[in-house]
Homo-oligomer: A and B are copies of this chain.
C-alpha cells in the first residue's frame, strides 16, 4: 500500500485525452469468436464508426472481423494512441510493456483478477501501476466495462455491451461495470444521450476524481453522473467537486448506505467504504446532489441538460385531469417544492379563457375537454405570472383530443418563455411518436408526477448551492502558546478534563471554569468564590469516566456539604481504585436554565476529522438529532449545521425558551474547527453539555473530553 502511494506521488499523470480522445486504437486480445469480450469491443468500435484506425492484436489470428490482425502491438505499422487490453491476467504486464515500447499513451484494461480477488491479485495490481507510472501511461481499469466518447471527432464505443450510446451532454462514471451496462441500456430506452462514459473498475490509476476533473473542462458535458461505492480520496473529491459544481451539477448514486451495504462494498471492491454520515456531510459541503436510484439520476439529468434553471421553488401545475393534479401536488410538497399562489390577475385571465368547470387555482385544471389551444392559452397566462418559477403541464390523452397537437403546443409555449417546463405525459406508452417529438424538441418528459418532484428537488438543490455564499475560514485569534503547553501535558493520549476546558478557553470557547481544590478547605474557598450551588468532580489522571467511581456531585449547596462531598469523593475513589492517584476535586459553578447542546469531533478513517453539532440530552442520545460536517468548517458550513437539526426551533426560542445567540454558537463551531486544524494529533473531542442561553451566561462548555490519536508504541 505504501509503495503504491509513493508511486502515485512520484509521477505527475498525463492528460486523460490519451484515453478519451485517441487517434488510433489497438484491441489487444481481439478474437473472431462471437460472444467474447474481445470480439464485442472490436465490433462496438467498428460499428460506432471510430474516426481513427482500429488494429486487432492476437498472435493466434491473422484476420479478425475482416481486419488484419497483428501478432503483437509492436507489429502494427502505424502509431497507436490507445490500447484496449483483454488478454489473460498474467499477460497484462507484458502487454503493457509492449505498449510502452510502441509509444501508446493510454490503456483500458478490461481483464479482471486483480485487487478484487485478494492479496495475490492486489500484488499484481501494484506492479501494474508501478509499470504504468514508469512508462508514463494512463490506465482505466483493470476489471472494467470500458469507455465511451460520443464526440463526432472521435466516436469511441470501447465497451463490450449491447447499447450504442447516443450523443448527448451527460457524462457518466460508474464504479461498477455491471451497473454501467445496466445504465447504458436504461438510458437507451429513455432516449438519453451521453458525452462520455467510463467504467473505472478497480480505479488503480484513473479514479473518479480524475474523470471529474477531466469533465469539468469538457465543453460537451453539462451534467456529470456518478455511481460510487467508495471514495479513494474524499478530501480530493471535496476539493474538485466544490469547483466543478460551480460550473455543472454532479449527481451521485452512492451505495453502501446501510451498514450491511457497506460490508458488501468492502468484500466487493476491496476498498474501504466511508461511513454514510461522512458522505452526506461531504456532499453537503461540495454541492453534490445525492439521489437514491438510477431512475432519479436520469430524471434529473434530463432536466438539467434541456431546461433553463428555475428561479425558485414555486411550481404551477396545469392539468387536464384532477387526480394527477393532486398526485403532483402531494409529490411536489413532499420534495420541498411549493405550489405557486397565482395572482388575482392571472386567475381572472384564466377564468376568461377557460370553461366554467375548470379550476383556476393551482393545480390549474383545464378538464378533459382541453385541447392544444386551451393548453396554450393557459400555459401562456401562468408563465407570465411572476409567482411561477416552473411549469408542469400534465396531460392524460383523452379520446377526441389530438395528443400530437398538444405536444406541438407545449413545444411552442416552451420556446416562447424562459421558464423551465417539465411535462408529465400519463397513460401513454413512453415510446409513442409524439413523446419522442417532445424529447427531440428538448423537453424532458416524465410518466408520473413523482418523477418531476424528484427532479425539481435536484434542480432546487443546485440553485440553492449556486446562490450559497462560498464561505470563508475566518482568521480567529487564539492563545496558541497556552494551548501548546496544555497539549504537552497529555498523558497516554488523554487530556484531563480541566486541561480540556482550559484548552477550549485558550481557543476562545466559553467554558464554565473549573478550580482544582486539593483539600476540602480549598474546595470551600473555590465554591464561595464562584457561588453556590456548585458541582464537584473528581480530578484524577487515572480515571477516564469519573462518574463510574462516584466522582461527580451536583447541586452542592453549602460549605458544609462541600466538605462532606469532598471527603466522600476521595473515599469512594480509594474504595473503587486503590491505586488511582487522587489529584483533588474540581469545583465548578452550577449553571441553571438554558438548553443543553453537544458538540464534538471524531475522526473517520477515510474522511478525516468530522465535526458534530446537536442538541444534548435525549436529542442526541435517543433521537440522534445531530449533524456532521467534514473539517475544516467555513462560516457558512457552521451556520448550516445549526439550522439543520430537528430541534432547531428550540434554539430560536420555541416554547417560550430564551433564543440562543446563533452567531456566537457558530463561532464556537469555527473555533473548534481551528483547534482541530492546529492540533492534528487530536482524535476525538466531546463537549457535552455545552449550555446555551443559561441564566448566568450565554454559552458555556461544562464537560469536555479530548482524546489524542493512539501513538505507535
Interface residue ranges, A against B (CB under 8 Å):
35-37, 40, 112-113, 116-118, 160-161, 174-179, 181-186, 189, 227, 229, 253, 255-261, 263-265, 267-269, 292-295, 320-327, 329-334, 339, 356-357, 359, 361, 363, 365, 368, 396, 398-400, 426-429, 447-448, 450, 617-618, 621-623, 646-647, 649-650, 654-655
Chain B residues positioned under 8 Å from A400 (CB to CB)? 35-37
Across the two chains, which residue of chain B brings its CB closest to A356? B117
Pick 11 A–B contacts, CB within 8 A, sort by A: A178-B320, A179-B321, A179-B396, A179-B426, A182-B427, A257-B334, A258-B330, A258-B333, A267-B361, A622-B647, A622-B655
CB A347 to nearest CB in B, in angstroms, measures 13
Q: A37-B399, A40-B399, A330-B257 are in contact. Are A268 and B325 (CB under 8 A)?
A: yes
CB A307 to nearest CB in B, in angstroms, measures 23
A357 near B116: Cβ-Cβ < 8 Å: yes
CB A189 to nearest CB in B, in angstroms, measures 6
CB A53 to nearest CB in B, in angstroms, measures 24
Which 6 pairs between the two chains have the least Cβ-Cβ distance?
Answer: A176-B323, A178-B321, A268-B322, A182-B427, A258-B333, A261-B329
B357 near A117: Cβ-Cβ < 8 Å: yes
Which of A253, A359, A396 has the largest count of B CB atoms less than 10 A from its CB? Answer: A396
Which of A161, A293, A356, A622 has the largest count of B CB atoms less than 10 A from its CB? Answer: A622
A399 to B320, CA, bound (A): 46
A326 near B264: Cβ-Cβ < 8 Å: yes
B322 near A178: Cβ-Cβ < 8 Å: yes
Copies of this chain in the oligomer: 2
Q: A329-B261, A361-B267 are in contact. Are A324 and B35 (CB under 8 A)?
A: no
A176 to B650, CA, bound (A): 43
Chain B residues positioned under 8 Å from A654 (CB to CB)? 618, 621-622
Chain B residues positioned under 8 Å from A265 (CB to CB)? 322, 326
Across the two chains, which residue of chain B brings its CB closest to A255? B326
CB A380 to nearest CB in B, in angstroms, measures 22
CB A592 to nearest CB in B, in angstroms, measures 14
A116 to B322, CA, bound (A): 10
Chain B residues positioned under 8 Å from A356 (CB to CB)? 117
A255 to B334, CA, bound (A): 12
CB A274 to nearest CB in B, in angstroms, measures 13
A396 near B181: Cβ-Cβ < 8 Å: yes
B324 near A178: Cβ-Cβ < 8 Å: yes
Chain B residues positioned under 8 Å from A36 (CB to CB)? 399-400
Chain B residues positioned under 8 Å from A321 (CB to CB)? 176-179
A175-B323, A256-B326, A261-B330 provided; 5 other pairs, C-beta below 8 A? Answer: A35-B400, A40-B399, A178-B396, A179-B327, A184-B427
A116 to B256, CA, bound (A): 49
Chain B residues positioned under 8 Å from A256 (CB to CB)? 326, 330
Q: A185-B427, A189-B429, A330-B257 are in contact. Are A357 and B324 (CB under 8 A)?
A: no
Chain B residues positioned under 8 Å from A116 (CB to CB)? 322, 357
A185 near B428: Cβ-Cβ < 8 Å: yes
Chain B residues positioned under 8 Å from A260 (CB to CB)? 329, 332-333, 339
A398 to B429, CA, bound (A): 28
A329 to B175, CA, bound (A): 17
Chain B residues positioned under 8 Å from A267 (CB to CB)? 322, 359, 361, 365
Chain B residues positioned under 8 Å from A35 (CB to CB)? 399-400
A265 to B363, CA, bound (A): 10
A422 to B578, CA, bound (A): 62
CB A311 to nearest CB in B, in angstroms, measures 20
B264 near A322: Cβ-Cβ < 8 Å: yes
B229 near A323: Cβ-Cβ < 8 Å: yes
Across the two chains, which residue of chain B brings its CB closest to A621? B655
Chain B residues positioned under 8 Å from A292 (CB to CB)? 331, 450
B261 near A227: Cβ-Cβ < 8 Å: no
- A323 contacts which of B178, B259, B293, B621 (Cβ < 8 Å)? B178
- A427 contacts which of B178, B257, B357, B365 (Cβ < 8 Å)? B178
CB A362 to nearest CB in B, in angstroms, measures 8
A177 to B365, CA, bound (A): 14
Q: A264-B326, A654-B622 are in contact. Are A448 and B257 (CB under 8 A)?
A: no
Q: A258-B333, A357-B113 are in contact. Are A322 and B269 (CB under 8 A)?
A: yes
B450 near A326: Cβ-Cβ < 8 Å: no
Across the two chains, which residue of chain B brings its CB closest to A181? B427
A426 to B177, CA, bound (A): 12
Chain B residues positioned under 8 Å from A361 (CB to CB)? 263-264, 267
CB A371 to nearest CB in B, in angstroms, measures 12
Across the two chains, which residue of chain B brings its CB closest to A358? B117
CB A44 to nearest CB in B, in angstroms, measures 11
B179 near A324: Cβ-Cβ < 8 Å: yes
A178 near B330: Cβ-Cβ < 8 Å: no
Across the two chains, which residue of chain B brings its CB closest to A320? B178
Chain B residues positioned under 8 Å from A176 (CB to CB)? 321-324, 326
Chain B residues positioned under 8 Å from A112 (CB to CB)? 368
A178 near B368: Cβ-Cβ < 8 Å: yes
A268 to B322, CA, bound (A): 6
Q: A35-B400, A185-B427, A293-B450 are in contact. Are A323 and B255 (CB under 8 A)?
A: yes
Across the two chains, which residue of chain B brings its CB closest to A185? B427
CB A120 to nearest CB in B, in angstroms, measures 10
Chain B residues positioned under 8 Å from A118 (CB to CB)? 357
Chain B residues positioned under 8 Å from A334 (CB to CB)? 257-258
Across the two chains, which residue of chain B brings its CB closest to A113? B357
- A179 contacts which of B259, B323, B330 (Cβ < 8 Å)? B323
Chain B residues positioned under 8 Å from A268 (CB to CB)? 322-323, 325-326, 359, 365
